[in-house]
Structure 1
Amino acid sequence: MKSKLIRLASLPVGIPQEANFNLGFEELPAIKAGELLLKTLYISVDPYLRAKMAGGHKPPLVAGDIMYSRAVAEVVASAAADFKPGDKVLGFLEWRDYLIHNGEGLTRLDDSGLPLSSYLSVLGSTGLSAYFALTDIGKPKPCETLVVSGAAGAVGSIAGQIGKLMGCRVIGIAGSNEKVDWMKSQLGFDAGIDYKTTPDTGAAVSSLCPDGIDIYFDNVGGAISDAVINRMNDYGRVVVCGSIANYNDTASGTGMPLLPLVVYKKLLVQGFLIADYKARFAEGIGRLQQWIAAGQLQYAETIMDGFDRLPEAFIGLFEGKNEGKMIVRV
C-alpha cells in the first residue's frame, strides 16, 4: 500500500512557508516479525519544530527529513506480541498517513472518557508542561500575581487555569481581543492584554499588576517578556517554557539586558523541557483528569481536517490561528 508523507523540502528563512514542505508517496512493504502497521489518526503541530529547523532544538530537522511529531495512531496489523489490531497508541511518529513501526516508544492509550486528541493536548505534553513547569518551577502561592504570555495557546491556557486553582491572580497576554475575552469568560483569568492592539504592553502590565508580578510563565520571549520581567517583584520566578517570538528571527536581537535584572531583583529564571518529567507523567495526567472531571479545568483544541493541511496548520501557529492546541485530524 502507498503511504503519504511530508518532508521538509528546504529550511525556512523567517516564518515557514508552504514551499518549505513537500508532499510525497512511498510504497510500504509487508510488516515483518515485531512490526506494526499504523494508521495515523491525529498529529500534533508544535512551535518547537521551528526551533529544530533552526538547529536550536536537538536533534535538528534538515532539508530532506520527513517531518515528525507526537501523534495518535491505530494499529491496523500487528506482528508484535504487545499490540493487537484496534489498539490506539501514542508516540513520536513521522508525518505519514500509514506507517510501519517497531513498537518502541509507543504508549497504548486507555479510554480516558475524553477524545483521543486530548492525548496531544490537555493529557499530552502541552497539559503536562503547564502542570509541571508551573508547579515545580513557578511554585504558585495563594494571592500571588501570575502573568502568562501566549496565554490562549495550548500550554498557556492550561497554566493560567492551574494558577487560578492554586489561588493566584492571573493575567494573560494574547494576540486578539477575542482570545482575551475567551480567557476571561471561559478560563477564569482575572484580566488580559491584547498585545497586538495595545500601544504600550509594559504600561498595560503595570496598570494590571500594581503590586508587581511574582510569577511569569513565558511562552513567547521577545519584547513581551522584556516588558513583564522588568516589572517582576523581588524573588520572582520566571518559567521559560518557550520563545516563539524568536523562532523565526533572521538577525540577532538587541533586547533588554536581562542579567542585571536577575541580580537586582534576585529572580529565579529556569528553562523547562517536558522530557525531564517522563517518570512523573502518570502523576500529572491523574491530576489533570481530576480537575477536568470536576469541571475546574477547561481546554481547547483547534483541529484542522486533512493530512495535506499539516504545513498550513504548522504555519498557522505563527499567525495566531490556534485557540488552545493545534492538531491535524488525518
Structure 2
Amino acid sequence: MPNYEVHYLSVSDADAIIIRYENSGDQYVVLIDAGNVSDSDKIKNYIWNHWKTYTIDLAICTHPDSDHKGGFFGLLNDRDVIINEFWLNTPEDVIKEDEYNRLYPKRNRLSHCRECYDHPTDTDSLNLIDLAVSNKCNVYGAYCGKIHSHIPISVVGPSLDFYHPLAIEILKNNKRRKDEDNTIYNDIGYFSSVQAKSSIDDEPDDCSPTNAGSIILLFEPITSCKFLLLGDANRAAITDAISNNTNLSGSRIKVPHHGSKHNLTSVLIDKLAPCCAIISAKGSRKHPSRGIVHCLSNHCNVYSTHKSGTLIHTSYPITTPAIPLKEKQ
C-alpha cells in the first residue's frame, strides 16, 4: 500500500503545502504553493530535514498572488534545489494571438501574459515562468482533467472555458490592496447556526480574477482517503468544479483563501461535506472567518495553522494529534 504525508506549513496568511508520496519504493515530493518571498528557505530546509532531499518532483503554483508564488523565486534561484516539473496557468494558455492583438494591438503578448508572475518586489528578477524554463523545469498548464502520471494528483478546476474570461481580467492588471487585518481571531461568545450562515451567505463572492482562477487539486493516495486543495478559489470556481466532478464530497479540504467569508457559502460547505478542514492563516478576525469555521464544524473538526502550527496528515500512526480550532458539533 502507498505511504503518504501531507504537510500544511505554518506561513501566516499564505499557503505552502508539501506532499510526500511513496509507492513501490519510489518517492515523490510535491510542493503546492510556496508562501511569500521570505518563505523559500523555510520550505527548502523543511524538505531536507524530513526527507534528506532537495529535489521537488512536482511544483504547482495555484495562482499568481504573492503569498502563493513568492517562495518559488528563492527555490528556483537556489543551486541546491531541483524542480523537475512545474504546473501553473497563465493567460497565454487561453488567449491566442488573434484575440490578444484585438485587445492589445501595441503590446507583446508573451511578456504581457506573464506579467502576473513577476517577482513581488524585485523588478530585476525574471518572471516565474521564464525562471522555471531557464532552470530546465518542464512547465505545463494545469486545467480540469489533468492527471500526473506517477502521483495520484489531478486537477478538478478550472476548466479552460472557465479560465478564459478570468485571463482577460488578469491582463487588465487590476491591483488589489492586500487584505490585512491584525485583529486577533476570537471564537468566544454565543454564535448560532443562523448567525453563522448569514455572516457568510450575505457576503459577495471574492471578485479577484487570480483567486477565481486558482488551480483546484484532488490528491487521492488511497481509495478511502482524498484531499481537496482549493487554493484561493472563489464560490463560482468551486461551484464549477463540483459540477464537473462527482467525487469531491467527503474530502479533507484545504479551505480557500485562509478561511475568508467571501470564498465559501453554507450551501457549498454542505455540498462538499468535508471530513476534515484545514485553514492556513495567521489568526486574524478575517482569516479565518468565524462564520466559515462554524459552518465547517457542522461536518468535521476544523484546524488552523495559527493555532496548531504546521499540520500533518499521514498514512503512518499519529502519536500527538493536533488540537482543533473548533471540534465537530
TM-score norm. by structure 1 comes to 0.29
Compare CA radii of gyration and give the structure with the larger one.
1
Structure (1 or 2) with the greater strand fraction: 1
